[in-house]
Amino acid sequence: MQKGDLKMGRMRIFSLAFLALLLSTTMVLCENRAEAAAGKIVIGVLEPLSGPLKDQGERFVRGAKYAVEEINAKGGLLGKEVVLLVEDNTYKPDVAVRKATKLLLEDKADIIMGSLGSHICLAMMKVADKYKKIFVIPNAEAASITGVDFTPYVFRTTPTTGQRTSAIIAYLAKRTQYKKYYILCMDFALGREAGDGFREKVNKIPGAQLVGEDYHPLMLKDFSPYVSKIIASGAEVVLTTNLGPDLSNLIKTGASLGWKAITAGGYLFDPVMMQDVKEAALGHLVFNHSLVDLDNPAQRKFVQDYKEKYKDQDPVTYSPIFGVMDYYNAFQWLVDVIKRAGSTDSEKLIKAWEGASYNMPWGKVTMRACDHQIITSYKAAPIVRENEYFPFPFMGKLVNIPEEEVTVPPSQTGNPRCK
79-91 residue pLDDT tens: 999 999 999 999 9
Question: Which of 22-36, 117-131, 322-336, 369-383 comes out lowest in average pLDDT?
Answer: 22-36
> What tens digit of pLDDT does each residue of 277-311 get?
999 999 999 999 999 999 999 899 999 999 999 99
Question: Which of 23-27, 251-255, 344-348, 376-380 comes out lowest in average pLDDT?
Answer: 23-27
As a whole number of angstroms, the distance between CA 11 and CA 13 comes to 5
Beta partners for residue 185, in sequence order: 215
As a whole number of angstroms, the distance between CA 233 and CA 223 comes to 16
pLDDT, position 389: 95
> What tens digit of pLDDT does each residue of 131-141 get?
999 999 999 99
**162-288 carries CATH number 3.40.50.2300:** yes
pLDDT, position 31: 46
Q: Where are the domains of the chain?
A: 39-159+294-375, 162-288
Strands 373-375 and 363-368: antiparallel
Average pLDDT over residues 149-160: 97
Task: Reply yes or no on whether the pLDDT at 251 is more than 60.
Answer: yes
| 159 to 73, 297, 376: CA distances (angstroms) | 30, 24, 8
CATH topology of domain 39-159+294-375: Rossmann fold (3.40.50)
Task: Reply yes or no on whether the pLDDT at 1 is more than 90.
Answer: no
39-159+294-375 shares its CATH topology with 162-288? yes
As a whole number of angstroms, the distance between CA 222 and CA 224 comes to 6
Cα 51 off chain centre by = 16
Stated pTM of the model: 0.88
As a whole number of angstroms, the distance between CA 216 and CA 378 comes to 27
Closest CA to 286 of 230, 224, 240: 240
